[in-house]
Every structure is written in C-alpha cells, then in structure tokens.
Structure 1
Amino acid sequence: MSRLEVNKKKKKDALFHTAFELFTTKGLTKTTISDIADQAGVAKGTFYLYFKDKYDIRNKLVSHKTGELFFHAHEALSQTELTDFQEQVHFIVDHILTELEQNRTLLTFISKNLSWGIFKGAFEEKMPDEDYHFYQSYLDMLSQNKTSYRNPELLLFTIIELVGSSCYSCILYQQPISMEEYRPYLHNAITAIMKTFEEQS
C-alpha cells in the first residue's frame, strides 16, 4: 500500500471512528457533517470524497460494524475444533449475542440491521474491499459439510434476521423475556430453520 493510500485510509478510518462516536452520543439528527469532519481533523470537502452525506456514512458504518462482529465470531470459531456445520452456526450466533450483550451501544446503533454486514447488495455501492465478507466464509464452511441446503443465501438471511430482531428486543428491553432465557428457544428455532432448508437425499 502506497503512502497516499495509507493516508487516505487513515482519513477514512478517522471519519468512521468520529461518526460512530458522535452518532452514539449526540444522535444522528443532531450530528452534522461539519461536526464529523472537525472532530476527525479533516476538511469538510474530504468527507465528500468518501461519503455522500451523513446517512451514507451511517449506513456504511452499520455495514462495517456488523461485518466486524462476524469477523470476530469467525476468528473465534477458527480457534475451536468444531467441524459440524450446524454446530459452527450455533457457535457464531452465540459469539455475536455475547458481544452485543457486552456492547449495548453497538447494538443500539446497528438496531435490527445485523444482516447488513453480510449482504453487500443492501447498498448502491459495494462494501470496501478491506471489509471482511462473512458470506464467503459461510460458503466455505458449507462446502465442507456433508448435508446440502437449498438456497444457502436465503438460509443465512433467515437465521441472521431472526437473531438480529430477537436479540435487539431481548437484550435491550428484556422483552418478551431476557436473552439468557431466550437463547435455548432461539437455538431450537435455528435448528428447525436449518432442517427446513435441507435437501432431501
């Protein structure tokens, strides 16, 4: 990476970091582009080199932050000896739930948009190349599995949407019950979902 590219990445990272801090303290509505640029130590015009407006940086931040969650979970999985696909999926879900329980600021920020970090098509522009793409790791895991699944993309989407919406309510509001109480039901539901997507031999 050239010095110019390194410098550009530093500026973009500074904008990301600052925007996240401001969005989670002041809120999206009260945060201006000038606030983000000033606190990041860059010119306002530099902001527009990377993002269209504050909603664009918010969306890309949600995608980036959820991508990080899945990266951390997959890294943790690689330290285990789990080889069964279903066990791997349950492990990843548990890891993400635990991380979100410990970081409610992040959970509030990403809201129920957990799948944004997986499916790049959610935005007009693709996620930057330096971001981690869990979907490829998921396909790699699936390729080493003995069981075949119909429409693996839809399978993953269904699981992650369920996890995202349920963890938001259970962790932040303990509604209808706490996450600790709900986890066994969630895992049973995931197992049932995976069963419905299995290809019959």
Structure 2
Amino acid sequence: MPSVEENKLKKRNKILEAAYNLFAKNGINTTPIDEVVKCAGVAKGTFYLYFHDKYDLMDQIILYKSAAIIKSVIEQMKNINTDNKMEAVDQLTFFVDAIIDYMIENKEMLSVISEKSSILYSLIIDNGDDNIKLDFDYLTDIIVKLGNPPENAKKLLLLVSTMIFTTASNAILSRSPFTIEEIRPEIHLAVKKMLA
C-alpha cells in the first residue's frame, strides 16, 4: 500500500503532467486551473496544496521536465563511459547532442518552456532537489576537466546551457534563421571554444 508521501507525489505529478499537456496544446494563458485539475482527476483544493497559481505550476513543470531530461542524458553518458576513459570534450559533445536530439523529438516541450528559458538554469539550481544539484555538479566537473577554474564552472554552464537552449529552440521551432541541421555543427564549435 502506497505511503501518504507517495500518494502526495503521485497527485502532484498527475497535476504536472496534465498541465504540461494542456499548456503544450492550448498555451498557459488560455488554460484555466479548472481544466488542469479536471484533466488530472484531482480537486481544485489539491492543486493549491502544491502550487500558488498556474505560473508557479509552469515553473515547476519546467523544473520537473528539465531535471528528468538532464538526469536521463547523464545516465546515458555514464552508461557509455563506464571505464571513465571518455574525454571530457567527448562527454560534452555527447551531452549537447543528446539534449538537442531530445528537443527535436519533444517539440511540444519547447513551446511550453521557451518563454522561461532565461530562468531555466536558476529554477533548477535554486529550486531543485539534491539529485538535480548532483547532476549539475557532474556537468561542472566536466567543465573543470577541460581546464576551466572551478569557481567559473557554474557560470560557464549557465552560458553554455542558455546558448544551446535558445539557439536550438529557434532552429527547431521556427527553423530561422537556420535549421537545427545547419546550426548543430556551429553549436558544437561554440561550446568547445567557450569551454576548452
């Protein structure tokens, strides 16, 4: 039998998933909370146990989805690099490609979070749980292995992640000024130059 905490988490995740799907389909401004709770199968009061309003919900969706993506990509990277012989630059290239591939396959997510891309990093760092912070530590360790000072690693991660997300989002969603196929090699080059 699930514990009280497991039930709470399940309800919260149902709200997050329902809202994500509705926001992707209809947009945040045209989706009322009543529609979110109906789709999630929970009472309106339950919504307010977890979220202040739909904009708080939106921030939590971004955190929830982004953390899942990053965790998945890092796990893939660790599975490939079991002997720890993969060069830091190759790990970084793998990470960039995996994130871009995920973005291509999940365009609906881009439309949901593109409005908040400028605060994505701070949402994850400031509001994420310890597991998310460990994932970011893994990435900053790669940046340090490339010869960057440890005190600059988080700043560089912010710059790189914002650049990747913004550039790839524009290329995927609007295909302007370049398609993702046209700009991907330049993203790799820019990341390597910024971090090497």
The answer, yes or no, to whether TM exceeds 0.5 is yes
Q: Distance in 2 between matches of 1:96 and 1:56?
A: 25
Cα distance, 1:112 vs structure 2: 6.1
Instruction: Report Cα offsets for 1:61-118 as digits up to 9, x if no partner.
Output: 0121111121121111112135322221111010010111111111111116457554
Q: How many residues align?
A: 191
Cα distance, 1:148 vs structure 2: 3.8
Structure-2 change in CA distance of 1:77 and 1:112 (3 Å): farther
Aligned partner of 1:35 in structure 2 is 35
Structure-2 change in CA distance of 1:165 and 1:146 (3 Å): closer
Amino acid at match of 2:34: S
Structure-2 change in CA distance of 1:108 and 1:146 (3 Å): closer
Question: For structure 2, which runs of at least 5 residues remain unmatched after alignment?
Answer: none
Cα distance, 1:25 vs structure 2: 1.3
Aligned partner of 2:160 in structure 1 is 159
Structure-2 change in CA distance of 1:61 and 1:17 (3 Å): same
Instruction: Report Cα offsets for 1:152-200 as digits up to 9, x if no partner.
Output: 01110111111011001111122112111111111111111113xxxxx
Q: Distance in 2 between matches of 1:142 and 1:191?
A: 10
Task: Say if 1:64 and 1:131, in contact at 8 Å, map to a contact too.
Answer: no
Instruction: Report Cα offsets for 1:111-133 as digits up to 9, x if no partner.
Output: 1645755434776xx23x38633
Question: For structure 1, which runs of at least 5 residues remain unmatched after alignment?
Answer: 196-201
Aligned partner of 1:11 in structure 2 is 11
Q: Distance in 2 between matches of 1:27 and 1:170?
A: 20
Same amino acid, percent of matched pairs: 28
Task: Say if 1:119 and 1:135, in contact at 8 Å, map to a contact too.
Answer: no
Could you state the TM-score of these two structures normalised by the residue count of structure 2?
0.86
SS of match in other structure, 2:132: coil
Q: Distance in 1 between matches of 2:101 and 2:120?
A: 17
Q: How does 1:96-115 map to 2 (within 5 A)?
A: 96-111=99-114, 113=116
Task: Say if 1:66 and 1:116, in contact at 8 Å, map to a contact too.
Answer: no
SS of match in other structure, 2:52: coil
SS of match in other structure, 1:79: helix
Q: Distance in 1 between matches of 2:89 and 2:10?
A: 39
Q: Runs (4+) of structure 1 moved beyond 3 Å?
A: 112-123, 129-133, 139-143
SS of match in other structure, 1:151: helix
Task: Say if 2:89 and 2:146, in contact at 8 Å, map to a contact too.
Answer: no
Q: Distance in 2 between matches of 1:69 and 1:28?
A: 21
Aligned partner of 2:56 in structure 1 is 56
Q: Distance in 1 between matches of 2:111 and 2:104?
A: 11
Structure-2 change in CA distance of 1:115 and 1:71 (3 Å): farther
Q: Greater CA deviation, 44-53 or 145-154?
A: 145-154
Amino acid at match of 2:18: T
Considering only aligned residues, what root-mean-square deviation do their CA atoms show, in Å? 2.4
Amino acid at match of 1:184: P
Could you state the TM-score of these two structures normalised by the residue count of structure 1?
0.85
Q: Distance in 2 between matches of 1:62 and 1:121?
A: 9
Structure-2 change in CA distance of 1:31 and 1:108 (3 Å): same
Task: Say if 1:112 and 1:164, in contact at 8 Å, map to a contact too.
Answer: no
